[in-house]
Amino acid sequence: MKVIIDSEKCQGHGRCFSLAPALFDSDDLGQGVVIGDGDVSPDQAENARLAQENCPEYAIEIEES
């Protein structure tokens, strides 16, 4: 499983990095960024979905492997 942020849609609402700090961070401008290459370990799968379902801009995609 992998998380991706569509940076065209992201407006820096910050829900992802508060709900799933192991997967997302904020850059110097406050926009959301994926940590590393976005790979989601099984114990983070729920947090990944939580972030996706709370992003007001529908900017988070999850690729199931």
Partner 1 sequence: MSTTDKAPVQDFATDFDHTDPSWVKDPYPIWDDLRQRCPIAHTDRYGGAWLPTRHEDVAAIAHDTDHFTSWTVVVGNGRPGEDALPPPIGVAPPITSDPPFHAMARRLLQPVFAPKQVDLYESYVRELCGKLLDPFVGGSAIDASLDYAEHIPVGVIAKMLGFPEEDGEIFRGFVHTILEAVDKEPEERIEDFQPVIDYFTARIEEHRENPQDDLTTFLLEAKLGDMELAPEHVFGSMLLLIVAGIDTTWSAIGSSIWHLAQHPEEVARLKSEPGLLDTAIEEFLRAYSPVTMARLVKEDMDYAGCPMKKDDWILLSFPAANRDPDMFENPDEVIIDRKVNRHAAFGLGIHRCLGSNLARMEMRVALEEFLARFDSFSLADPDAVTWSQGQVRGPRSLPLTLGNF
Binding site for partner 1 (CB under 8 A): 11-15, 17-18, 26-30, 50, 53-58
Decide whether 18 or 41 has the Cβ nearer to ligand SF4.
Answer: 18
Cα separation of 10 and 1, whole Å?
20
Strands (E), 10-54: 24-26, 32-34
Which residues, at least 6 apart from 13, have a Cβ–Cβ distance to it below 8 Å? 32, 55, 56, 57
- Candidate list 1, 2, 4, 11; residue touching ligand SF4; CB under 6 A: 11
- Candidate list 1, 2, 13, 62; residue touching ligand SF4; CB under 6 A: 13
- Candidate list 5, 23, 40, 48; residue touching ligand SF4; CB under 6 A: 5
